[in-house]
Chain A
Amino acid sequence: MSSVSRPLSAEIASRLITRARWSPLEIAFWIAAFATIYLFPEHHLILTEIVIWGLFALSIDLILGYAGIISLGQAAFFGFGAYVAGLLAKHGIMTEPVLALIASGLAAAVLGFLTSFLVLRGSDLTRLMVTLGVALVLRELANRFPQITGGADGLQGVTIDPVLGQFRFDLYGYTAYVYSLIVLFVLFVIARRIVRSPFGLSLVAIKGNPLRSAAVGIAVNWRLVAIYTIAAAYAGIAGALLTQTTAFASLEGFAFDRSADGLLVLIIGGTGYLYGGLIGALIFRFAHDYLASITPQYWQFWIGLILVIIVLVGRERIGSWLDPVRTLADRIGAWRASRRPRALGATPEGGGQP
């Protein structure tokens, strides 16, 4: 056991650290994201929408991209979070938006935890049906209890107090956008932390080979319950953000279209690296606007066509338009990794990365 060469340990350590470190490209991404606050003041409403879609797609990425669970019902948690936030504000139960947002996320997490046991068993198909079914049941419930939810008319008369008691939601959507973007960033950092942790690694392992995962001591089902619950919280917060920034919640939050579009957003950007949902949301929104400007009522046709083409061409190939960017990121990462130990004088061969 003592025969291990110190340089090898140092190199492994540096590789593992590199894996977790923020690359310059990521930093640039977030600087650009926050710069939009000042660069596009007249587009804050659309940008807020994009942020919410991005957060929603991020929640799908956590279960699909990392744990391999196909869901057609992520809207269940989105809609649930949206109504919780709306009801909290409308009835003055919790009027401070940040606290209400956290409460909505927790409520969605509880729902996610309870329904997670439904997706543990069975095949992809059973999971599809059960997730779809949960969203349908919730939508049906919301529809059948209009005295609470406002039914088909949606939840009217919601007023949102200033964020932290300081920042009032303005007509131009400035507060709404800054608030949403900060929420997205915070949740992204947490998600990034999660997927690079031993826990996140175990999810990728389960996705790849559940049999072997159990054989190295991973309690497969509990890990899936955990990530499903976390993803539900993310979706719930996305829904709550929509309610808070629009002062309205409706049955649309539970709609099948939302689950399907969320999946599409994620697929456009690519799964399993967290940025897919955010980039996908940006593209989706602009594609949506462009298509709707050509054929106002029928833009769904083009969305459908995009889906069909993506599958026929192959998702790997579609996703590969990002490959040059990823390769660049890897190169930069490798270069930095090779510099660090050398600076410490630990690994002479540290630069041998392809």
Chain B
Amino acid sequence: MLTILFDGIAYGMLLFVLACGLAVTLGLMNFVNLAHGSFAMAGGYVALVVVNDMGWPFSLGLVAAFVSAAALGALLERTLYVHVYNKSHLDQVLFTIGLVFMSVAAVDYVMGSQQQFIRIPAALQGQFDVFGIGMSKYRLLIIAICGVITIALQLALLSTRFGSQLRASVDDQRVARGLGVNVGVVFAVTFALGSGLAGLGGALGAEILGLDPIFPLKYMIYFLIVVTVGGSSSITAPFFASILLGIGDVAGKYYVPKLGAFVIYTIMIIVLIIRPQGLFAHGRAR
């Protein structure tokens, strides 16, 4: 029982790191980016290659995942995404579905379609037994890393200059420009950071979520749930939504395996009907 809770929290925190970039682009910038999972997949595969094939240590693999996904994010943002920010939601949907299809086929071509795993150092395998609760060392690491990232993000958003620039840009681009904020750069950096975190999450999560070319499609709905169910008023809302989703999914699959993901989808639909702005939104109208 407590093990499920523990696994659920680890899973939820992982989802948060994967989805927090989307929480900003979709939740705050109101850009429907269905291709967010592609960046996570990119990070995952980079880590896979450098760790398994090139023999880098696991920690460096994670760094490589973050850097490469962030670089890819920055590149695509500057060359492609900027042209789509101001288009209709339908255009954004079509554009990002296109990117998903391309990434799925491209990874399939380069890496093959089978599921692959990143080699994890022996020190991280096995589990601790604390008061009879089996806690996997690896999941503990996930919780630690994701916890640090969450706190850092919250601090960065609230108390750094860049954080306030981002909040201003999201609130009203014109006003922000008037205040001397370079909105384009702010968005690009944010996008790159979000993609980088997704990449990191993809690498960290390869062990739990698996890594195969249809990753972006398989988890798209989960990322979207985190953002829409959580609501987009702050970074804490998607965080709580992630944890709830993580626990709910793990518990659902454990107790009612027959229904599988059915429970999660149904809960999502119900939440969206009752609270279209999200569970934790503070009535901020969009």
User: Per the CB under 8 Å rule, do A and B touch in the complex?
Assistant: yes
Interface membership of chain B positions 196-237, coded 1 if the CB is closer than 8 angstroms to chain A and 0 otherwise: 000000000000000000000100010011001000000000
Is A39 close to B, CB under 8 A? no
Given known pairs A122-B276, A311-B91, the reply for A304 and B98 (CB within 8 Å) is: yes
Q: A118-B272, A310-B94 are in contact. List 15 more A-B contacts (CB 8 A).
A: A128-B89, A130-B272, A133-B221, A133-B272, A297-B108, A297-B109, A300-B101, A300-B105, A304-B98, A304-B99, A304-B105, A305-B102, A308-B98, A311-B92, A312-B95
**Is chain A's binding surface mostly helix, strand, loop or mixed?**
helix
Is A303 close to B, CB under 8 A? yes
A-B contact pairs, 24 of them (CB 8 A): A118-B272, A125-B89, A126-B228, A128-B93, A129-B268, A132-B224, A133-B269, A137-B262, A140-B259, A140-B260, A144-B259, A260-B97, A260-B101, A263-B94, A263-B97, A298-B105, A298-B109, A304-B102, A305-B102, A307-B101, A310-B98, A311-B84, A312-B95, A315-B94
Closest residue of B by beta carbon distance from A271 = B90
| Across the A-B interface, the 9 shortest Cβ-Cβ residue pairs | A307-B98, A304-B101, A301-B105, A122-B276, A304-B102, A308-B98, A311-B95, A124-B89, A304-B98
B98 touches A123 (CB 8 A): no
Within 8 A of B (CB), among A75-122: 118, 121-122
Complex Cα distance, B226 from A220, in Å, reads 30
B221 touches A132 (CB 8 A): yes
Is B106 close to A, CB under 8 A? yes
Is B161 close to A, CB under 8 A? no
Selected contact of B90 from candidates A70, A144, A303, A306, CB within 8 Å: A70
B residues with CB within 8 A of A: 26, 32, 80, 83-84, 87, 89-95, 97-106, 108-109, 217, 221, 224-225, 228, 258-262, 265-266, 268-269, 272-273, 276, 286
Complex Cα distance, B228 from A140, in Å, reads 21
**Residues from chain A with Cβ under 8 Å of B265 in the complex:** 133, 136-137, 140
**Residues from chain B with Cβ under 8 Å of A52 in the complex:** none
Is A188 close to B, CB under 8 A? no
* A172 → B minimal CB distance (Å): 33
B261 touches A140 (CB 8 A): yes
A308 touches B80 (CB 8 A): yes
**Residues from chain B with Cβ under 8 Å of A133 in the complex:** 221, 265, 268-269, 272
Complex Cα distance, B91 from A155, in Å, reads 36
Selected contact of B262 from candidates A121, A141, A263, A311, CB within 8 Å: A141
**Residues from chain B with Cβ under 8 Å of A308 in the complex:** 80, 95, 98-99, 102
Complex Cα distance, B91 from A219, in Å, reads 28
Complex Cα distance, B259 from A144, in Å, reads 7
Complex Cα distance, B276 from A122, in Å, reads 5
A residues with CB within 8 A of B: 64, 70, 72, 118, 121-126, 128-130, 132-134, 136-137, 140-141, 143-144, 256, 260, 263-264, 267, 297-301, 303-308, 310-312, 315
B32 touches A301 (CB 8 A): no
Selected contact of A306 from candidates B98, B105, B106, CB within 8 Å: B98
**Residues from chain B with Cβ under 8 Å of A64 in the complex:** 90
Complex Cα distance, B87 from A64, in Å, reads 16
Closest residue of A by beta carbon distance from B257 = A144
Complex Cα distance, B269 from A122, in Å, reads 12
Closest residue of B by beta carbon distance from A267 = B94
**Residues from chain A with Cβ under 8 Å of B102 in the complex:** 300-301, 304-305, 308
Closest residue of A by beta carbon distance from B100 = A304
**Residues from chain A with Cβ under 8 Å of B100 in the complex:** 304
* B41 → A minimal CB distance (Å): 14
Selected contact of B101 from candidates A70, A140, A303, CB within 8 Å: A303
**Residues from chain B with Cβ under 8 Å of A144 in the complex:** 258-260, 262
B93 touches A72 (CB 8 A): yes
B286 touches A121 (CB 8 A): no
Complex Cα distance, B32 from A298, in Å, reads 25
Complex Cα distance, B272 from A130, in Å, reads 7
* B265 → A minimal CB distance (Å): 5
**Residues from chain A with Cβ under 8 Å of B32 in the complex:** 124-125, 128
Complex Cα distance, B101 from A305, in Å, reads 8
**Residues from chain B with Cβ under 8 Å of A132 in the complex:** 221, 224
Complex Cα distance, B214 from A218, in Å, reads 44
* B110 → A minimal CB distance (Å): 10
B269 touches A134 (CB 8 A): yes
Closest residue of A by beta carbon distance from B225 = A129
Complex Cα distance, B95 from A312, in Å, reads 8
Closest residue of A by beta carbon distance from B32 = A125
